[in-house]
Amino acid sequence: MSDGRALLEVEGLRRVFDVSKPWLNRVIEGHRQQFLHAVDDVSFAIPAGRTFALVGESGSGKSTIARIIVGLIAPSAGTIRFDGADIARIKNPSEMRQIRRRFQMIFQDPYASLNPRMRVADIIAEPIRAFGLLGDTAAVQHRVGELLALVRLDPRDGLKYPHEFSGGQRQRVAIARALAGNPQFLVCDEPTSALDVSVQAQILNLMRDLQEQFGLTYLFISHNLAVVRHMASEVGVLYLGRLVEVATTHELFSAPRHPYTRMLLDAVPDLAMTGRVRTPVQGEIPSPIDRPQGCHFHPRCDVAKDRCRTEAPAARSIGAATVRCHTPLGA
């Protein structure tokens, strides 16, 4: 399934939001311009057929990266290459449509991601019609029935409206819509965080089955480490818009290199009841508007040195992992 070739490559991605007050208020009240650094120099590559997970706390920039990749937000800097083609350089609309068809997105909140005034069949048919994949109505209807069966819903459910479904069923509808254009790459922005725990596993297993069946590549965004461990082949840990550690799932969970990764892992509840003492997460993520100097993590880090307070660490490789830390663990 995976041939090692990167389907999606992100390099030096950066996004700065101007959150200043209006010009007139700044002049009168004497405020300076304020910028929110949501994504700061993020690079990663996802091989075809694999799942790359981005984890991090709220405000770490996970969702911004997802939205930049699918084109909802323009990046401030950096390049995104999909199957070797730089997305930002595609000017031809028909070529852009071809690229868009090949990557789709699954959203976090299945209660908001389906238009409440449209029938489910029309919601799923929309990408098919938009990309002009099938001409006649009968073929579109047949395909919609197929997609509903694929996500294990009854094809007759297509006549219903979204409010007639449960959260898990709605997320299945959203997955069916995402698959309607036969994509290769799916951006999944916390696809199960709005669902009941009992339903989460069903949706995750469905996504894994679909990945196997169609050789899909996932960018999987989550704050739930147990989910990430279940889904991902590689994990990137985000902290205040910077990717502090990238490693294979096995490597990351068995030997975390960055103090932040270790802190996150230590805080996970111990369901196996091994008697391990949990260390709660220390402190809170600072504001992305007013970020700490040097390494962003130093105010919460227990191994921080003077150098960490002044100098931002560059990415370096330790074993198979890439870490941004002056004092990595196990080095």
Site residues for other proteins per CB under 8 A? 67, 70-72, 96-97, 100, 104-105, 107-109, 112-118, 121, 126-127, 130-131, 138, 141-146, 148-150, 155-159, 174, 177, 179, 181-182, 213-214
d(CA 290, CA 235): 27
Judge whether 7 and 217 are in contact, CB under 8 Å: yes
CB of 179 to other proteins, least distance (A): 8
- Residue with smaller CB distance to other proteins, 97 or 291: 97
Between residues 113 and 322, which has the closer beta carbon with respect to other proteins? 113
Nearer to other proteins, 144 or 325 (CB): 144
Spatial separation of the C-alpha atoms in residues 78 and 127, rounded to whole Å: 28
Sign of the four-CA dihedral 156, 157, 158, 161:
positive
Measured distance CA(158)–CA(65) in Å, rounded: 32
Residue 130 CB, nearest distance to other proteins (Å)? 5
Q: How far is CA 57 from its chain centroid?
A: 12
Helix axis angle, 167-179 to 137-150, nearest 10°: 130
Q: Which is nearer to other proteins, 73 or 329 (CB)?
A: 73
Cβ nearer to other proteins, comparing 51 with 184: 184
Cα–Cα distance, 248 to 234 (Å, whole number): 4
Give the shortest CB-223-to-other proteins separation in angstroms.
18
| Least Cβ distance, residue 1 to other proteins (angstroms) | 15
The smaller minimum CB distance to other proteins, of residues 159 and 289, is found at 159
Q: Kindly state the smallest distance separating residue 244's Cβ from other proteins, in Å.
A: 28
As measured in angstroms, the least distance from the Cβ of 299 to other proteins is 32
Token pair 């790459």 is at which residue? 185
CB distance 189 to 108 below 8 Å: yes
78 three-class SS:
strand
